[in-house]
Structure 1
Amino acid sequence: MTDKKLIGVDLGGTTIKFAILTEKGEIQQKWSIETNILSDGQLIIPDIIDSINHHLDMYGMSADQFDGIGLGSPGTIDHEKGTIKGAYNLNWTNEVYPVRDIEKGTGLPVTIENDANVAALGERWQGAGNNAKDVVFVTLGTGVGGGIIANGQLLQGANGAAGEIGHVTVDPNGFMCTCGKRGCLETIASATGIVRVARDRASEYAGDSELKAMLDDGQDISAKDVFDLAKKDDDLALIVADYVCDSLGFVLGNIANTLNPKYVVIGGGVSAAGEFLLNKVDKAMRKNEFATIKDSTELRLASLGNGAGVIGAASLIKVG
């Protein structure tokens, strides 16, 4: 073990988060900059290079004190070429070359990975995954993402798309998904999906409900509103929450049956519903598991919050 440090970069559509970590995963410095997606996102990689170089200079550090840079990004990753394409929220419609360009600009080796996968690595290394060899991570945000670590290795798949838990089909005749097929988990359990379910169920609901009144009044609602009202026993909100959690538990139970992970970890903004969400999903998950899985796989809430991305990105240098 050397005493060299790691740099983790979590590239998002709004902000780019950076951290300097020890090889044990302890964050020593962190900062962030705004993501400039103008000009087809052509300024993003130069901004990353400039920010890293500026901060190393500011902290009186040099490249030879680091093992490398790990970068988590949206989009499809080509690990062999070191490229990213299809990161539409960054305006990267064409292929970009972050490994080549950041290595040239900083003098440090760079490893890249999908953002959901680096969040999974972060939770596994320093969070709720407890550094277990087998961990499944699902993130419930604007969409539903995921990452799978099996026998200590991140599963990438033949085309880099392993762990796309959001596109497991729950209802073949369900809502249309942005991916082009119907009934994906993402159409139900994402933040936007929960609102969609609420509007759909409200159209058929005739009882007394604050959520129903809000929707009938034309108010904008959020997934947080749905779960906050469900916690207060609002009837319609409970119907929505139960359907969302049953659907998520169905998918996670079957993934657990397939992979037998030590931990299944739920993160993302929707996970802020906390133990209320966890308990409902756990009940549904157990209903769909066979006995051996029930005895050996545990459902947990993520514990690192926004820090999972930079920590997981830095861990790419350890395993990359």
Structure 2
Amino acid sequence: MSKLRLLFDRFTLALITVVAVATILPVHGQGALFFEHATTAAIALLFFLHGAKLSRRAIIEGAMHWRLHGVIFIWTFVVFPLLGWALGPLLRPLLGEALYMGVIYLCVLPGTVQSAIAFTSIARGNIPAAVCAASASSILGIVLTPLLLQLLLQTDTSVLGGSASLLDAIGEIGLQIFLPFVVGHLMRPLIGGWMSTRASLVRAVDQGSILLVVYTAFSASVVAGLWKSVGFSALSWLVLVCILLLAIVLSLVTWSTRRMGFSREDEITIVFCSSKKSLANGVPMAGVLFGTAVIGPVLLPLMLFHQIQLMVCAVLAQHYLRQDVESTTSLPG
């Protein structure tokens, strides 16, 4: 994989373009209402596809490794959130309240599904366990993300400008994410074969849904004065904070996994499933949990971290692969 591709993949360029268009031509009025309904449909389609991709066999095979899943759960929903919270006294003055809220939101999100599995596969890790862990993380995040957000920010989600209290928010997120996911998985026997032969189309719909949601969210924030409240200095600090968070987590996850005696394949799965945060889950959840005035700053840390994690983990996956190839070729006979 070339360095150019790592830095400028098509989806990243599309995300940058969408943010630029939302800044110059934000949708508002009746157009905003139309995009709001389109976004709801896009989210449902996105998680319907996620559910339809998930193999029942992979769930059964991966679910047996309880020790591995426990470690991933602790890093995703305990250590990562505590790390963001502990850095609060440093981050608040550097970033401002809105961007710091975004960092906390980033830290309490579930892990990714597609890229965690893809990088585990490239690095020759435990793929069934990665499928199960990543999918379970997304489902658990429906409840744990709003709960942890309220706990760490010490306020109800409705106070953040969202449309619902904590229980209402969990219910709304469940309807938007979990229900389409379950329906898609139940329909896998009917459409799984069709999807496997049209992988590029499914990926385009998958990524297009995220881009639509990002455009709608950023348009609302631009209309509410996003770029007047977020300056270049805060953005520069935010990039460094995202790099620091990822470096700390990757280093500690790798070190602790080896200390606990996991196999190389399980180490790879834990590293990639514990260190990544989901843009696909984070954008629609933010629409429920936050108001239009803060949703843009809240999403900025996630979008930056998303690209940084893809670049770093792509290099890391290639490193694991080279190690495996070298160890295989050096074996006698």
Q: TM-score interval w.r.t. the shorter chain?
A: under 0.3
Report 1 or 2 for greater relative contact order, CA contacts < 8 Å, sequence distance ≥ 6.
Answer: 2
Q: As a proportion of its length, which structure holds more helix? A: 2
Structure with greater Cα Rg: 1
TM-score by length of 2: 0.26
